[in-house]
Structure formats: C-alpha cells, structure tokens
Structure 1
Amino acid sequence: MRDCRLFFAALLLLFIGACNKEENRNEPNRQLTDFDMKVGNKIKNFISKVDIQLKNPTLKSLETIDKDSALWYLEATFNYCYGFPNDYYDKFEIDTIGMTLDLTVGGRVNMTELANKYNQMVQEISILYNSSGFAQRGLSLVNLDDVQFVDDYINFYIHIIIGRKGTIPPVPVIEGPFGDQDNWWYGENKGICESFTYDSDAAVQLMLAMNGTLPDPVDNFYVINPVDIERKGGVLNVRRETDPNPPDNLYDYYLYFGSEGIGPVELCLNRNAMNIYYNYLRYLLLIKIPNEELSPSYSLILVQSLEGSWGLINQSDPTLRNYFHKGKFNYGIKVHYLPESDYPITLP
C-alpha cells in the first residue's frame, strides 16, 4: 500500500481543501478552479527547474525540499507530462520499476538530485513503453508505491499502466450495455457459454463496458495522488446491503460470487445477469467505494483488471468451490490543464 505519509504530505503541500465531487464529475466544461491553477503552476515550476538542470548538468542547486513532496513531484509531473488517462483502453500491461532517491544530511532532497531522478524516470519508463506489445498504445498513468524511508535514501517502486487503445463501445441503454448475444461464462477466459471460444469472459466484458463510460471527449485532465483499490466477490465489503436474503447465490454481492457450499452456482451469465452486474459494478465503483473510503476529490480513473476465478471452500474437500470476480481499480484526483498547455505528450 502507498505510504500514507506521502499522501498527506501532498495534501499539505497543495493546501487541498474539500471539493464537491459532483461538480468535478458532472461539469466537464467548468472553469479552471484555484485548485487547478495551484497544482498546474507548481508542476510547471518544477518542469522549469528540470529543464535548467538538463541544460546545465554540472550545476548544483542549493535548494532542497522535504522527501514526501519530492516523491509527489516525481509522480504528479510524470502524469502531467505523459499521462493519457482520458483515452479508452481495452487491455493493460502493468510494469514495475524500483528506484532510490538520495537524501541530504538533514533528510531532505536536493533539487539537482530530484531533477536528475525525474529524467532517469522518464528514460526508463520510455524504454518499457516503447517495448510494449501493443501497436496502438497509450500510457494511462504511473503510481509510486511501496515507499521506504531509510536514513540517507528512499526506496520506492513505480507502477506503469500501459493501455492498448480501442474503440469506445456504444453508449449503453438504461438497463445496461449487454444484448441477447451476451451469454458469457463467468471467467477463466472461456468465452461465450457452450461455444467456449476462449477469447474473453463475463469479467472481461464487464471491465470493457465500465471503462467505456469513463473517457470524456470534451474533458482534458491529468491525475495526481493515484491509489489502487482491490475488491473480490464474496467478501463483506462488497456485500449488497439491500439484499433481503441470506446468501443464496443470487446477486448477494456487487461483484459476482457463487458458492457450491450454499447450492447450485450459475456459471453462465446471460444478458440480464450481465446487465445487473454491470449496474452493481457502477454503484460499487462510483458511489460505494468513493463515499466510504476516499476523499470527495477522488474520481475513478480506470478498471485496471477484472477477472473470474475460483477457489476451494475447504482445502480438504476438492469437490466444492467458490466462484468469484476480483478486480483492481484505479482512483485519483483529476486536475485540469492550464490554458495553452504543451502537455500531455507521448513518451519519446
């Protein structure tokens, strides 16, 4: 999990106040806020310092900043310059690289060290990006995680989310995006029920449908302070509060779950079941998780993964299984670019 000190230091650095979640999500043409201006100007100022360091590699800055803020600048500036979170992707590759950042005697980060580390970060991520197997690709965002503060340096990891660009699905009808032909096996990439084409499954189709609703063609933003949240069907935090029955394998959870310890499990999801789970997924990701776990400034950025799998109910009995969907979901604070911004650009 992300070191909470990094998160709160970023909030302190930016003087972030509470903002209205509905205003952020429902007004794509809104005017720039003070928050947008403040964050954008801080990042532009850091980019200027990086450029000066590139042009004067022997220059040694006297400026230092606290270590939490240094990590925030690396993550936020990269997403500002090279992130395309508002594009539609139908598949993802996730890469991870580890880095260290030296500290001064006083436990701070010298600006020269930080600028050089940022340039190293761009170079290493660019290599991964250009070696991706996707012909049409985009970098959605990067996320600094697993931060460890040692006496004279910082260890951290960068998770890089590269997406394969696809065609945005049609806008779904009220009841959901799935039609009569959508009879999908719950998971395991088995494809359409009975045909078993081994090219997709219900979990993947739900992920694609959800991601198809997230890009906004008239919006333009970058992401700061991203976080990953994982959920799994059958776990209490995805139990449907309004389900009137004890668990009976019939829509007990917002994510698909069925247990042979309860009774028969329907592994083929027809159009009705697909549309029900699609709407449950939207409620879980857009309302339940943000309201219960995140500050109002956070928005869903993408569904990174959603897969269908199974596990034994009891290791001593191989005949009874639990079947479930589990996923990883990326949230972050959307910040709108300042007028006449030169970014984002594609990685070199």
Structure 2
Amino acid sequence: MAFTFLQCFLLMRYVSVVLAHLPVPENVNVTSINLGVILEWDRPSYSLGKLTYTAEYRSSISRTFQTVCDNQTEHRCDFTHVIVPVGIFLFRVRAEQGQKTSRWVKTEQFFPDKHTIIGGPTVRLVSRDGNLEVDIRDPAMEGHKKLSDIYSSVGYNVRYWKEGEEDKATVMKDRQQNGLVLNQLEAWSRYCVQVQVFIELYKKTGEFSPVRCEATTSDGKVETWMIALILVVSFVVVSVTLPLLFLVAWYFYKGLKFFYPTDNLPENLKKYIMEPPHQYILKAMQNSSLQEEQYQEVSIISESPLVEEGPLCSNTEEQKGADQGVI
C-alpha cells in the first residue's frame, strides 16, 4: 500500500513538472543564402495566449550559448552578423509565456560555407563578330566582399540554347573563367544563357541566374546590299528633310520680321498712327492760318477798230474772235 502511495505521489509530481512547461516551437530550421543565416520556426501546437521566443547560438570554439534574439514575438532570428564563413555552429530556440518556458529545440550542426545556398550570378551578353561574349559576375556574399575570398576554387556551369529550343541546351561544366565566348552559333538568331556557380570542394552547385537572351550577327559584318540600302535611304531622308527645314526656318524668320520689325518708325508717323484720325485733322485745321486770296484784274483790248455799222451780233462775234486771238 505504501509503495502504491509513493508511486502515485511521484506520478503526480512528474505530471506537474511536465504541465509547467510550454509546448516547444515546431519546424525549427536554418535557412542560409549567400552566407546570410536565418533561424525560423512555427508556433507550437495546442498553445494558448501570447508567446515570446528566445534564440541562441554556439560556435565550435565556445562552450556557452550566446543570445541573439530575446523575448521577441517574431518566428525568425537573423544570425548573419555573428556568423563567420568557416566554422561549426549550433542554434536553439524556446517558447516563453510569463515565467513558463518550453524546452530548448536545437538544430543540427551548421557549416556556413558548406550548407549555404549560393545564389545565381549576374550575367551580361554581348553580340560581336557572330559570337556571344558571356561576362559573369559572382553573387554578393552577406558581410563579405567576394566569393573567391571564401572558396579557393570557384567554377561555373554554363548552359545555352537557341530561343525556343531549350530542350536542346548545351551545357559547359566547371568553367574557371569569369568570361567566355560562345561560337559556332547560327547567324541572325537569338540565343539564351544561364549560369550557376560550382564549388569543387563540396561538389555543390548554386542557383541558376535569370535567363539572358541576345541575337547574333553574321560574323560581325553587314552585307553589301544592306549598306547600299542604308545609304540610299539616308540620302532620300536628307534630301527631303533639309529643304523642309530650310522652308520652315525661312517662314519662321519672315514671321518674326513681320511681328517684330527691326526698323523704327519716325516719331511723327508714330504719333499719327497712335492718335485718332479726327483729332489729327482737327489739330491741323486749328493750327493752320487763313491766307488772303490774291487776284489781278484782267483787261481785254481789241486791236481792230470798232465798226459802227452792222448788226450787233456781228460785232460781238468779231470781238470774241479777236479776244480769243489775244488770249
């Protein structure tokens, strides 16, 4: 009986201890791209009320955990600024609610240089002499200058294909140069290229770069007929454009001369134009003085003697003829 009572006491004690702890965070995972390190998790199941979280890490050269995120509500913690590329790291997180806490949930050992995902490089294509020149730039590493500072050997896998024929893509593996030339391509065709980083040490590949496409030419030379066509079209355009420009400039100049003449009008003419006509005429009449008419007496003298006899009309006609002769 005493033994049974002791078992019940211990069982109740165990249950009370267990119930004092919160459920642990779920789906704890480390995500790393280009040496950026993020610890992520989900809210524990069957949990009530508001929860906070604390996340810590420990390196291979340290025996104690260091807190990075404390009493936060987010379900993620950024460890990028405390991680170095080479080393072994361990992460853990727990849930909290007032004085109650859950157990720590630990991750597996994390090797930054081995486990990080390398993003796609930047690719630039240049069409020259019928070939495609491929220029590759390494992705930027978080907190570090160059990819070559972390890995002693960096290669590139290059795949290219004629646009619309991706299923026939050609793959060039582990190219050590940042630049290469794709030759033996069809003239006047578009080709697409993708590149991914390859790390020989871990036999790991990164993500592919976005697809880049560029058109080829015919050995970088322009056909003779095309040159002649360009010259003819250019001549026609110039022949039509220059006269039109000249006419436009001429009419524009004439318009400016009409609206903005360069010669100044005389002051009296300006005054005449500005003043109303009736006022000008009235002033002229007021300012002019009346001149006295000049005249002289005119006498008519006849050289022939007067005839006493004869009709009056005859004398009169003779006199008129004499007068006309004198005048």
Query: Whose RCO is larger (CA < 8 A, sep 6+)?
Result: 1
- Note whether the superposition's TM-score is higher than 0.5: no
Q: TM-score, normalised by structure 2?
A: 0.21
For the pair shown, the structure with the greater C-alpha radius of gyration is 2
